[in-house]
Structures are given as C-alpha cells and as structure tokens.
Amino acid sequence: MAILIDAAIWPAHNRLWCHLISDTSLEELHTFAAALGVPERGFEGDHYDIPESHRDAAISAGAREVSSRELVNALYLAGMRRRPRLSASTVR
C-alpha cells in the first residue's frame, strides 16, 4: 500500500506537473489528495495531476518518488489503469 508520485516533467498551463497515484485503491488516493488540499478537479480517472509547486508537500506527507514507468506499471498491477479514450480519427 503506497502513494506514488513521478517527476514533474509534464508541461501544461505554463507549469510542470506530476502524477499522484495509489497502488491499492482510489479511496486511499482520494483521502491522501484531500489531506494535501488537492482539488477534486485534479483527478483524471486513475491519478491526480499535481503541480510541481506541491510535489515536495506530497513527498513530505508520505508519497514515494518513482519513475513514470514505475507509476504506470503500479496502476496496471493494481488493476486501476484507465485506458485513454480513442478519438474518432484514431478508430478505423
């Protein structure tokens, strides 16, 4: 049972972002995010998007730093990885 966070390398909205997940349950993830004050709008189906400015607080609260690959693998192993929706142009 762990909360995992990757590096803040994902650019959006003039910031860098990282991803926060639970390798156990969405309930654990939501509880951890709420304790950090992360707004619900940051939830993306299987993870929270966290701005770089809040990453250290998440780590101090117990999130374990992992690579992006390890983070995605943990989601798959837990059976919680949400598959991205395909756009109409992708489907043939």
- Dump pLDDT digits (tens) for 15-52: 999 999 999 999 999 999 999 999 999 998 899 999 99
CA distance 46 to 44: 6
State what percent of residues in the chain have pLDDT above 70.
87
Residue 19: burial class (beta carbons within 10 Å; 0-12, 13-18, 19+): buried
Structure tokens at 86: 């395909």
For residue 72 the two structure tokens come to 């995605």
In the chain, domain spans: 3-77
Does residue 78 register a pLDDT over 90?
no
CA–CA dist 25, 80 (Å, integer): 8
Question: For the whole model, what pTM was predicted?
Answer: 0.84
